[in-house]
Amino acid sequence: MLHRPMKLPSFSAVQAGATASLNLPVGPTYRQLALLYKKAGVNATEAQMATDLIRIRLKINGSVRFDISAADYINLIKDQGFTINAGELPIFLSRPTARTPQLEEDGAWGTANVATFTLEVDIVPGAGVVTLDGVAWTTADRRPLNGIIQTLPFTYQAATSGQVEIPTLPRGNGDLWALYLFTSNMTAFEMEIDGVKISDAPMSFITNSRKWTGRVPQAGLFVFEPTWLDRGEDRIPLAGAQDFRLKLTMSAAETIRIYMDTVIAPLGIVVPRAA
């Protein structure tokens, strides 16, 4: 399958303090996207992108399926072992680290059955004179949107030190791909699903194990990634779970930013008709 690097349509409202947006053409299959960002005509540094691009969203038929700040996403990319080039912020839909071709294919976002596919970027007030463009790696095959990795945020206020519980984790109709916790004060992590302990190993062991597959752990970010071996089969089913909770041990009170990567089929599973 020919992978094509294609320039996307122009963003509207590219200016400080505004939300820049563009509608991606529907029909192609999208593998990766990237934002090309300049300040005063010069490729922005990693730090400038982290500061200026305060929220990035992808919407399918008006529903948000990817929502994260550039600062947090840069940390997630670096955790996965990727580097950031000046002025370029990649958005990985299909995962380049996939162990098998089939897994990489499964992660692509087909748009044959999609009405609208929108990319929005909130730019910080005071950013100055900026330009923003979008590019994508696509293939011409017209496949429907089936399973994708959805990335959505939430926060939890740990009001005290000691053990705290997050008993209200989203379950939805998908499978857990990865969980990212931005915290500098967590000393122990446990996960339970329907009373069954999924993880209670030391955080340091979980973090160090992930280095075996090329992960580069970042300061202030703890990642629980059941798919750290780059096998999609290792994701954790959540659809039938009645209780999905975390037990965290904190050295101090803190507001924790959390992102969940969940494999879902937003429009349902489309089964191709027999020829």
pLDDT tens by residue, 73-108: 999 999 999 999 999 999 999 888 877 777 777 789
Residue 72 lies inside a defined structural domain of this protein:
yes
* C-beta of residue 196 within 8 angstroms of C-beta of residue 238: no
Distance CA 31, CA 40 (A): 30
Residue after which a domain boundary falls, among 120, 143, 166: 143
Residues 181-208, mean pLDDT to the nearest whole number: 96
pLDDT band at 1 (very low <50, low <70, confident <90, very high): low
Same domain, 92 and 154: no
The pLDDT value recorded for residue 3 is: 79
Residues 184 and 88 in one domain: no
Assess if residue 69 is contained within a domain.
Answer: yes
- 270 in any annotated domain: no
Q: Are 34 and 76 found together in one domain?
A: yes
State the greatest distance between any 2 C-alpha atoms of the chain, in Å, as a whole number.
61
134 exposure class (CB count in 10 Å sphere: 0-12, 13-18, 19+): buried
Do 195 and 95 reside in the same domain of the chain? no
| Cβ–Cβ under 8 Å, residues 24 and 9 | yes
Number of domains in the chain: 2
In this structure, the answer to whether residues 53 and 128 fall within a common structural domain is yes
**Residue 272 resides in a domain:** no
Domain of residue 187, residue span: 149-264
Whether residues 127 and 163 fall in one domain: no
Q: Residue 184 has what pLDDT?
A: 95
Model pTM score: 0.94
Check pLDDT > 50 for residue 275: no
Is the confidence at residue 194, as pLDDT, over 70? yes
pLDDT digits (tens, 9 = 90+) for 56-70: 999 999 999 999 999
Same domain, 95 and 165: no
Is 114 in a helix, a strand, or coil? coil
Same domain, 131 and 162: no
**Is 70 domain-assigned?**
yes
pLDDT tens-digit map of 23-51: 999 999 999 999 999 999 999 999 999 99
Question: Could you say which of 124, 143, 162 is where a domain stops?
Answer: 143
What is the structure's pLDDT at 149? 93
Residues 16 and 106 in one domain: yes
Domain membership of residue 238 (yes or no) is yes
Same-domain status, 118 and 171 = no
Does 273 fall in a domain? no
As a residue count, the chain comes to 275
Classify residue 269: in a domain, yes or no.
no
Distances (CA, A) of 11 to 35, 62, 90, 186: 11, 17, 16, 40
Question: What value does the mean pLDDT of the chain take?
Answer: 93
Written in H, E and C, the secondary structure of 169-224 is: CCCCCCEEEEEEEECCCEEEEEEEECCEEEECCCHHHHHHHHHHHCCCCCCCEEEE
Q: How far apart are CA 159 and CA 148, in angstroms?
A: 34
CA distance 259 to 157: 14
Token pair belonging to 90: 């990649």
Instruction: Compute the distance between CA of residue 112 and CA of residue 57 in angstroms, rounded to an integer.
Output: 20
Provide the token pair at 177.
């791909």
Percent of the chain with pLDDT strictly greater than 70: 96
Answer yes or no: do 129 and 15 share one domain: yes
For residues 97 and 272, the model is more confident at 97
CATH number of the domain within which 51 lies? 2.60.120.730
Domain boundary among 89, 114, 143: 143
201, 260 contact by CB (below 8 A): no
Paired residues of 121 in beta bridges = 20, 56
Distance in angstroms (rounded) separating the CA atoms of residues 44 and 217 = 24
Say whether both 99 and 185 belong to one domain: no
Residue 265 CB partners (closer than 8 Å, separation 6+): 145, 146, 147, 148, 173, 174
Mean pLDDT of the region 228-249: 90
